[in-house]
Structure 1
């Protein structure tokens, strides 16, 4: 059973422990999270010009919309201000900036009525991030940029927190994905042919949990939660931010959520940056975590 807690007053260590047990935590907007949202909105406005980004899908061909996102999303990911504002959010949450590492923030979009559900605006099937070589100590932070509704958020499937799902993660290697599949995302407009880890058995997706944070509100959950993109029927494109964190002490001591069904290879740990100085996790820690060094990273 997944418990959803709103604005719990928890120290970082207890917060992580609850997330590793499958709880979902939701927090109100703060000045720091709203500053991150404002930064994202500035880039969105620059990209879409006079168009309302939430309804622009009705004004442009799908190919043009995908092209706009293909330029916008990397700009947000790699903008130096994005990292600085993530660090401010983590400091607000009482994270030890020397021990907390984060990956670059992503801007996500979910268009309405199946306008664009592949490639650069992929509508995620039920999955765990841990099927994609995420560490089991990974925590996901999710923030709406514009108002969201139950018809365009994500769904959790809590009945599978401790129930294995037969899936395709055994075919997934993180390094091969980055080499061959990630760079082609914007090319997949009508159909996404990339082999991604998916359930390989029928799932009972009801009951499901949908959480609707306010703009700048933060939803925190384990990367081991089974979750999916809700089919967007809201009439508006949803824009959101997500990033992931790990605590280096948890990585080294394997304090984490349980692995019940992941068989992927490789690790995303090299993507994480120290919140205090933006340095990467030491290579010996990564190698120790995955057991062997990859031939080509």
Structure 2
């Protein structure tokens, strides 16, 4: 099928989910709710970098110091109560039923020039599907630029592999082992990143499509899309935030595109919080997705191991 990008702003949540499960990508034009989320993130970013311009701090700081700033900044954003409130506001604005929509906590992404940092907290994702990370097929991905996004520092889609199997290393990924050590240890890696990120096994990802958006815009796409970080070849860092959602109805009916090539174990479904109450997904529904996870791993990541101060 053709790679379809929609800029419709009045589509219902149910129709949007159905269409992204068919491979469509939505690029919603700027909205006040998304803009407010990005402005809050930028306030935290500026406070963390202090006297340094966040866009060019890599010119002033040793990479080790840069990473020491990123650690508490990213964790503080992800687990800040206001981040959850702002995320919920975005969902309400886009028409989601927050009594049946669950979200994973939002992530702040910092992508300085690739010659400076591509590992650990500044990891550049090679072509992958989120479903390779033990995610359900009905996962919705959301990505929003904050500042510094150009065609040389954005995100790329590889549409030739929509619903087309690939050779990949997802069989090496276990959600519970990832929770046990890999998420905790991200800040340790600066030059190389030995964590078991799923990736293509020697295959060319084919053609790519890069989508740019201004601050306040947001992308919505299936977690089964093959996508990647474009290595930053500009002189400025790129900052963005993203999060994932799942509909309880989609979980129950096991909706979503067909799993064509994910062999990961465990499940990320326990990570999700109901948008209105922050309750977790009911255990009986989690059990539908809990496939062969490590008995020695950790079911739900504990952010306290990151020692946020």
Residue in 1 that maps onto 2:259? 259
Aligned partner of residue 246 in structure 2, secondary structure: strand
Q: TM-score, normalised by structure 1?
A: 0.97
Structure 2 residue 117 is matched with structure 1 residue 125: no
Structure 2 residue 267 is matched with structure 1 residue 290: no
Residue in 1 that maps onto 2:109? 108
Pairwise mapping of residues 42-53 of structure 1 onto structure 2 (< 5 A)? 42-53=43-54
Residue in 2 that maps onto 1:182? 183
Structure 2 residue 95 is matched with structure 1 residue 94: yes
Residue in 2 that maps onto 1:241? 241
Residue in 2 that maps onto 1:202? 203
Deviation (angstroms), 1:291: 5.2
Residue in 2 that maps onto 1:72? 73
Give the RMSD, CA atoms, in angstroms: 1.3
What whole-Å deviation, never above 9, does each CA across 1:23-81 have from its counterpart, x for those lacking one?
A: 11001121111111111011111101121101111110000001100110000001000
Deviation (angstroms), 1:260: 0.4
Structure 2 residue 214 is matched with structure 1 residue 214: yes
> Aligned equivalents of 1:234 and 1:251: distance in 2?
40
Residue in 1 that maps onto 2:64? 63
Segments of structure 2 that go 5 or more residues without pairing to the other structure are: 300-309
Q: Identify the range of structure 1 (197-206 vs 180-189) with the bigger mean alpha-carbon deviation.
A: 197-206
Contact 1:147 1:215 (8 Å CA) reproduced: no
How many residue pairs were aligned?
A: 296
Structure 1 residues 31 and 282 mapped into 2: Cα distance closer, same or farther (>3 Å)?
same
Segments of structure 1 that go 5 or more residues without pairing to the other structure are: none
Runs (4+) of structure 1 exceeding 3 A deviation are 291-296
> Aligned equivalents of 2:156 and 2:293: distance in 1?
35
Structure 2 residue 288 is matched with structure 1 residue 279: no
